Amino acid sequence: MTGQNLTGYTYQPATTKPFTAINPVTGKQLEGDFYPANHAHVNHAVQLATQAFPVYKNIAKDKKAAFLRAIATEIEALGDVLIERASAESGLPLGRIKGELGRTCGQLRLFADVVAEGSWVEAVIDSPLPNREPMPRPGLCKMLVALGPVVVFGASNFPLAFSVAGGDTASALAAGCPVIVKAHPAHPGTGALVAEAIRKAAEQTQMPDGVFSLLFDDGFSVGEALVKHENIKAVTFTGSFKGGMAIYQLAQQRREPIPVFAEMGSINPVVLLPGILQNKAEDIAAQYAGSITLGAGQFCTNPGLLLGVASPELARFEMALAKAISAVPPSTMLTPGIYQNFKHLSAELLQQKGIEVIGTGAEPESDGDNQAGALVAKVKAVDFIANPALSQEVFGPYSLLVVADTVEQLKQLIDVLDGQLTVTIMGETDELSDHKELIEKAGNKAGRIILNGVPTGVEVCAAMQHGGPFPATTDSRFTSVGTSAIRRFVRPVSWQGWGQDFLPDELKDGNPLNIWRMVDQQWTKD
């Protein structure tokens, strides 16, 4: 682990002032110097990615799949070295990191399967109609092809699963796009280890030089230079609203605007219907105390807002939630900056009109060690509606219970909400039909609508939508989790009038790749 920037297959000699990683548990520096990339590194990485693109895009699907699988194998081969470093750099427990490593390698292999299976290109074939009047129709066929070099910003809250070889990298590589990762400065050592695994996998499977690069920076200039580079064709980001919008605006101000898939703030509202509270107030409180404080509340799908109608049952829920929260020990946050932000933002919110604390977790022992105590507050609907500040995301173990006077007011609450990754309805089956309008309104605000569950825990599957209306994400039409994430990095291309020899295999007569295709309006493997 030299802390050097990796452009393609080559580690670049250091020229800049290094930075180090901090262990958020101890507040101490971890070993290893990391060197912010310079201008030449940025340009070299993009130039290599540009050259690699036409080669990598056209590599046979089984070879791309082998590359993705080799990355997973190489990451697993890092073993405890990786797990311990990722834990030390993030403050996340070893068990959580082990689970995340499993998910990361699972994602890589899932996308390998998607690529090897091949149907993801959505091949469409319209046969020629030589006898059509007044004009014959030429044969037309279409499939998805890779966009070009992609920049991935590593996320702080998933140092493996949404960082250097995370879901964004896996899906972009699967699509046929070279990837340049801007490493997250909070876990540069984890990033370096994973990047070396990718470099080895690329070499083993004979991928073109430049299919992958990793650049460090503890500031903003490397990210900015990457987003502005004319050869970059898409960007992914998971983090704050401010960070996501800065990248988005940069990308839109280019001569050629490019897609930015920024997953930003979401408070993931949970609507507690009256009937289910009568029966299960205590169970739901226990379930939600767990979801609110899972991983120190540092999930994009953390339930930051609970909505209910004033009633004895809601009072029971509130008491049970306060009790369950009081048993939650303080937990280390990812970085000192995230902890400070949590402390200030939650303190600020407690100053707002009508806010009342209803429950707190065990107090951290001191202030210096990045440990956040859980916090649940409540407010009346009328005060919530009047104060947009209460709708902002507080990244950490925090949730706000908003108490409406009536079901009608509950609907008004939903109307004022911003776009969300998820909304959850907690309700008994027999009361749902009384709340159809409310459920419809809630559904229009989110990318995923959950019944009687918790929003944390995002399945990696075909039917997952992890992306909601703005400001949850910059583009609600795409998902960053699940197999459809590959669609972010492609565009359709039509071929008109071409013979068999010059069509991609995906579009050839006889379907040599045996993929699902839509031929003359019918899905078929023939």
Site mask for a copy of itself (CB under 8 A), range 187-226, x = bound: ----------------------------------------
- 178-205 as b/e, with b when 16 or more CB fall inside 10 Å? bbbbbbbbbbbbbbbbbbbbbbbbbeeb
Closest distance to a copy of itself from the beta carbon of 340 (Å): 27
CB-wise, 371 or 456, nearer to a copy of itself?
Answer: 456
CA 282 – CA 390 distance, rounded (Å): 26
Q: Quick one: which of 81, 434, 491, 509 contacts a copy of itself (CB under 8 A)?
A: 491
Least CB distance from residue 494 to a copy of itself, whole Å? 4
| Amino acid found at 380 | K
> Is position 447 an interface residue for a copy of itself (rule: CB under 8 A)?
yes
DSSP string, 189-211: HHHHHHHHHHHHHHHHTTPPTTS
Number of Cβ within 10 Å of residue 487's Cβ equals: 16
Q: Which amino acid is located at 436 in the chain?
A: K
Q: Catalytic pick from 105, 141, 177, 300?
A: 300
How many separate helices (H) and strands (E) can be counted in the chain? 14, 21
Closer CB to a copy of itself, 189 or 419, in the complex: 419
Kindly identify the residues of this chain, within the stretch 219-278, that bind a copy of itself according to CB under 8 A: 248-249, 252, 256-257, 259
Q: Is 300 a catalytic residue?
A: yes
CB atoms within 10 A of CB 391: 18
Locate all alpha helices (DSSP H) within 205-258, ordered by sequence.
221-228, 241-252
Q: Per-residue b/e over 221-251, b at no fewer than 16 CB within 10 Å?
A: ebbbbbbebeebbbbbbbbbbebbbbbbebb
For the chain, give the number of residues: 526
Give yes or no: 263 in active site. yes
Q: Does 446 bind a copy of itself (CB under 8 A)?
A: yes
Q: Is 295 in the site for a copy of itself (CB under 8 A)?
A: no
CB 373 → a copy of itself: shortest distance, Å? 27
Alpha-carbon distance 217 to 97, whole Å? 24
Using rule CB under 8 A, residue 440 touches a copy of itself: yes
User: Residue 182, interface with a copy of itself (CB under 8 A)?
Assistant: no
Footprint of a copy of itself on 5-64 (CB under 8 A)? 54, 58
* Partner residues linked to 129 by β-bridges: 137
- Yes or no: say if 332 and 489 are a contact pair by the CB < 8 Å rule: no
Residue from the set 1, 140, 246, 315 that interacts with a copy of itself by CB under 8 A: 140
Looking at residues 354 to 413 of the shown chain, list those that interact with a copy of itself (rule: CB under 8 A): none
Q: How many residues bind a copy of itself (CB under 8 A)?
A: 69
* Residue 279 touching a copy of itself (CB under 8 A): no
Distant-in-sequence, close-in-space partners of 393: CB < 8 Å, separation ≥ 6? 241, 265, 266, 267, 304
Could you give the residue numbers annotated as active site? 263, 300
Q: Report the interface residues with a copy of itself, using CB under 8 A.
A: 54, 58, 124-126, 135, 137-138, 140-142, 145, 147, 248-249, 252, 256-257, 259, 419, 429, 432-433, 439-441, 443-444, 446-453, 457, 459, 461-465, 467, 469-471, 474-477, 479, 484, 490-499, 501-502, 516, 518, 521, 523
